[in-house]
Chains A and B, each alone.
Chain A
Amino acid sequence: MRLLEVKHLFKEFGGVVANSDISLEVEEGMTMGLIGPNGAGKTTLFNCIAGYYRPTRGKILFDGKDITGWPSHQVARIGIARTFQGMKTLPNMTVEENVMVGAFCRTKNREVARGEAQEIMELLNLREKAQSLPTELPIAIQRRIELARALATKPKLLMLDEIAAGLNPLEIKEILQTIKRIKEERRLTLFLIEHVMEFIMTISETVIVMAAGRKIAEGPPEKVAREPKVIEAYLGEKYAKG
């Protein structure tokens, strides 16, 4: 079944065309990867889907429903959860409260929300940190808090924006396994942005490559990685960085 469908999506900021004619489909239960050099428009695309931005043109369908232009909170309630690039925590609330806020998306009852939060914290190995403030904890744990909070909203589709950025190789391995595990246990559909190629290649069934606001390739990771256009886009970035 098709869970998410984006049709001819454009997003412009003044003169900058951050997304240009993007179309894609995400099947239920799959893991879709989205890669591309910095400034390619990946986060913008996520923001359009999540209702953070209103697309300039185009359509977004979720579960067959047209959700184009819906505000973020409604998109969350219909079953799309997302994390933010560079992390955004609720700094004055404990880890448990952070996760409970997510759980309140589906219930009015505090005990139900707390129960749900505890279950998810167990799943993500956060139980010992329940009463800490997120800002006191290392980045790797803060990423798991973001993950937990998003999961608590009981999404069908989970969108992660560079969840592994800034982590060391061991932590990357850990979070990769965690993501695989929660995907199984919660029967999720995943849509991931990752700047690090190695990460996305091992987890995604299909990869979309973006460059300069456009979709330039789509397919299985091994195949996409060999496409000249993709190599060129990444090489270009390496040279640009000097």
Chain B
Amino acid sequence: MGRLLKDIFSFEDRPRFERIGFLIFILIVLVFPWIIKSAYGRAVMIKFLLFALFGLGWNLIGGYGGQVDLGQAKNVGFGAYATGLMMLWWNVPFWVTVPVGMIIAAAESFGVAYPMFRLKGHYFAIATLCVALVWKELFVFWDWTGGARGVEIPIRPTPNFTYMQFGSPIYYHYFIFFLFMTQLLFMNWFRKSKLGYECQAVRDNEDVAASLGINVYRTKVIAYTITGGLGGVGGSFMTVYYLYIDPDFVMPLDLSILIAMTVMVGGAGSIWGPVIGAALLIPLDMYLGAWLGAQKRLGIDFMIYAVIMMFIAAREPKGIWGIIERMRKKRA
């Protein structure tokens, strides 16, 4: 038990500058809504934390596991719809819907992982993309999920913690920060766990991993299942934050790609990568997207992402974190 707690909360094995950086980051996030009063600025911050949260979960399969998954949006959708529908139908409290959404997402991931991991590399990536698209179309097609119209969450007369509805965005800021921190701590445990080492070994070389007693197939299935479950959390948050969900909003291909991209840009397979990637891409996306939209130059932002993506893939596979680590090694 003591060891488990230590593995969750301790960053002792990380270099000093990382721990100090992490502390400064926490302080900035904590005071942020008291300094930035603009609604847009606060919304950018919340979206950043949401995508950092998405990135943390995706990093398990995509970064540590090295399996390029381009379908994480389906799991976001499962979380969002589990929360939305359960609230709409039965008034289930938010905190009950979260684990249900996670279990549904994990169960579905486990089910599809089985055949999908017969495929490797690009074929696997395309399979994940297709599965996510099929789910999205199903949610559009089905009546019981609200179809293309989606689900609207009834507004409660008084703000409350049972349904996580609040009058002020400050609450949502700390709420998403809490979810982000729980997942960060989970990943902190994961990266030190046997499973974490096994995933990295599988990523680096499947033959070597197998020769060291690792069941490669099983490791991938487990990693993909956990990533599925983790993806549901942010989806549940989206439901109570935006109070409206539909398939185009919570399960589109863009979302899957943006999640994968934030992690790859920030640094796949490192604990801070997703945070750095989201810190760069989300403000860029929101400010640039808004600005270009105002200029009636839609689509240019996607071109910019494509260029960033190609640059990362060709020049710096370990992302921004890779650059930071290399500079540090050079100085040492």
Contacts of A92 in B (CB 8 A): 200, 203-204, 269
Contacts of B215 in A (CB 8 A): 71, 73
Contacts of A81 in B (CB 8 A): 211-212
Question: In the bound complex, do residue B207 and residue A73 qualify as a contact, i.e. CB atoms below 8 Å apart?
Answer: no
In the assembled complex, which residues on chain B have CB atoms less than 8 Å from the CB atom of A42? Answer: none
Answer yes or no: B284 CB below 8 A from chain A CBs: no
The interface-forming segment of A28-36, A93-101, A118-126, A209-217 is A93-101
Q: Which of B39-47, B134-142, B160-168, B190-198 contacts A (4 or more CB under 8 A)?
A: B190-198
Q: Determine if A50 is an interface residue (Cβ-Cβ < 8 Å).
A: yes
Asked if B201 lies at the interface with its beta carbon under 8 angstroms from chain A, I say yes
Whether a CB of chain A sits under 8 angstroms from the CB of B205 is yes
B269: chain A residues within 8 A (beta carbon): 92
For A101, list chain B residues within 8 Å (CB): 197-198, 200-201, 209, 212, 214
- Sorting the interface of chain B by its residue count into under 10, 10 to 19, 20 to 34 or 35 or more gives 20 to 34
CB-contact partner of A76 in B194, B204, B205, B211, under 8 A: B211
A50 to B211, CA, bound (A): 8
Q: Does B157 contact A (CB under 8 A)?
A: no
Q: Contact string, A149-177, partner B, CB cutoff 8 A, digits 1/0?
A: 11011000000000000000000000000
Are B208 and A89 interface neighbours, CB within 8 A? yes
Interface residues of A in 50-92 (CB under 8 A from B): 50-52, 71-73, 76-77, 81-82, 84, 88-92
How far apart are the CA atoms of A220 and B213 in the complex, in Å? Answer: 33
Contact of B213 among A76, A93, A97 (CB under 8 A): A76
Q: Which of A103-111, A195-203, A228-236 faces chain B?
A: A103-111
With A73-B215, A93-B201, A101-B212 as known contacts, state yes or no: A88 contacts B194, CB within 8 Å: no
Residue B210 is within 8 A (CB to CB) of chain A in the complex:
yes
**Does A84 contact B204, Cβ atoms closer than 8 Å?**
no
Question: B: which residues have CB within 8 A of A?
Answer: 3, 7, 192-194, 197-198, 200-201, 203-205, 207-216, 269
26 example contacts (A-B, Cβ-Cβ < 8 A) are as follows A50-B211, A52-B210, A73-B214, A73-B215, A73-B216, A76-B213, A77-B213, A81-B212, A90-B200, A90-B201, A90-B204, A91-B204, A93-B200, A93-B204, A97-B197, A100-B197, A101-B197, A101-B200, A101-B214, A104-B197, A105-B213, A110-B192, A110-B197, A149-B208, A150-B211, A153-B212
